[in-house]
Amino acid sequence: MSVPPTAAEDVRREPAHDEASGTERAAAKETLEDYTLRFAPRSYRRWTPMVVATTALGGIAYMADFSIGAGIGLTHGTGNALAAIAVAAAVIFLTGFPLAYYGARYNIDLDLITRGSGFGYYGSVLTSVIFASFTFIFFALEGSIMAQGLKLAPGLPLWLGYLVATLMVIPLVIYGMKALSKLQVWTTPLWLLLMVGPLLYLIAHDPGSVHRFLSYAGTDGDRGINTASVLLGAGVCLSLIAQIGEQIDYLRFMPPKTPENRRSWWAAVVLAGPGWVVLGALKQAIGVFLAVYILAEVGPAAATEPIQQFRGAFATMLPSWLVVPLAVVLVVISQIKINVTNAYSGSLAWTNSVTRLTKHYPGRMVFVLLNLAFALALMETDMFSVLNTILGFYSNCAIAWVVTVATDIIVNKYLLHLSPQAPEFRRGMLHAVNPVGVVAFVAASGLSIAMYFHALGDTLQPYSPVAAALIAGVLTPLMAVLTRGRYYLRRTDDGMAEAMLDADGNPSATTYPCHVCRQSFERPDLAACPTHDAMVCSLCLTTDKTGDHLLPPSPAGV
């Protein structure tokens, strides 16, 4: 695997046009490690498409899928569970594709995509908080699963296991993409072997297990496919729809798409973008299989715990002394692989939100610790016992957000041509709030949450995820038509003569110095400064408290 140069090697020092504050220089220096809050430049993106894809897929090694699948299967039966998993996977794949493409093509994360896809500069703070919540909810879930393993061996009490699961990721998440890429690539082969091996052995040596799995009716006692059960299960699975944000946190480091690498580029984007859900759906189905397999031995409560599932699977094929250690190793590897991603992505989301609102960059490590504190609080309050309720509620917000952005890209950008096709994220170029995305998101999430909590009656309750998707999908183009696209761009000209994209449609690699922080950045990360004959980078625009560096809005009618 090729390793990109350090930030210091990537960035050329240029003479400053005026003095920058120590805070601005410190913020610029820290964000150059992994380009927090900003466009990821071509000079940093030295990985091949397949290395990026492998790194991104390493982040979905979480064990929560096994618990989610088991919970749905034990309640609604195998048939309903498999149908629910398939429905959710189809929705996640279709909505994730345009988002993954934009992240890889334009080298920006999902928050920056959201800004220019219907929400506006400050409007996307709403969705940044939703995404940050996703990361600490799933960190807590994975940490709970690891603590269950540490309770089994070496016998740590749960509260201490929660603390260990939280603290151990801090050293790994400090260094951003370079450290994470090595961790994910090196640990993936062992993780795959430990996960797939027991399943294949069980199917080969106990064919009756497949029949018991397929015929299991669940506590509902209905062997047939029931629409309400399928939708309730799909709603829980759809809580994972926001995982595309974590995939994009890796995909933004894709190399430029060229005629030479076109096939590998597309393969990596599809595989590591929306394609993550294929593996996720398989893990959920395996979770149902393993839960049914061990149900008689451990009971329904423990059957949803991955540590118990794999302990039961390993027990059929390995000496007794090796069963628990290998099950714990699998759980620990999985937890580390996903929770470094959760901590990393969550810190980006919190930093994005707070920096925009306060115009001050407090440093990403502050928010790594904040995200971990939220996750630890959830673990210590036993969120695992109410897992499906938390995920079912959260999925309504996540669905509304992702469907709104995906609809804006597909319909408003490419069909209606009311939304600018190239994404914009810089302050001064966007309106503060765009009603297109904000209205669609608030209406879709608000109504679907009301349905989920039975406010509109018991009959409609299972349909809350469907409502979230349909309302967001309809209101997003409707609001674009009603506003005639007026609230996407505050300006169409950023004051720079060079085009944003090169001849191949990739972001330009030409560098210019920022006169505020004294660093050089590639063309897409800069805009002209109206009070200086110079350029200013996107982060210095974000932290500009006086507005001196912001371009004025375009004249009316322009």
- Domain borders along the chain are 44-393
Secondary structure (DSSP) of 387-407:
HHHHHHHHHHHHHHHHHHHHH
Do residues 251 and 288 make contact, with C-beta atoms less than 8 angstroms apart? no
Encoded tokens for 280: 């996720």
- Residue partners of 388: CB distance under 8 A and separation at least 6: 68, 71, 72, 75, 236
Total length of the chain = 558
Environment class of residue 182 by beta-carbon count within 10 Å: exposed (0-12), middle (13-18) or buried (19+)? middle
Query: Of the candidates 7, 1, 60, which has an alpha carbon nearest to the alpha carbon of residue 36?
Result: 7
Strand runs labelled E in 57-118? none
Fold exhibited by the domain 44-393: Hydantoin permease (1.10.4160)
Environment class of residue 338 by beta-carbon count within 10 Å: exposed (0-12), middle (13-18) or buried (19+)? buried
Q: What is the pLDDT along the chain (558 residues), one digit of tens a residue?
A: 333 333 333 333 333 344 445 555 555 555 555 676 789 999 888 889 998 888 888 767 778 889 999 999 999 999 999 999 999 999 999 999 999 999 999 999 999 999 999 999 999 999 998 888 888 888 888 888 888 888 887 888 989 999 998 988 887 776 655 565 666 667 777 777 888 888 888 888 888 889 999 989 888 766 678 888 999 899 889 888 988 988 998 899 999 999 899 999 999 999 999 999 999 999 999 999 999 999 988 888 888 888 889 888 888 888 888 888 888 888 888 887 778 878 888 888 898 899 899 998 887 788 889 989 999 998 888 876 776 677 777 889 999 999 999 999 999 999 999 999 989 999 999 999 999 999 999 999 999 999 998 998 888 888 899 899 999 999 999 999 999 999 999 999 999 999 999 988 999 999 999 999 888 999 999 999 988 889 999 999 999 999 899 999 986 544
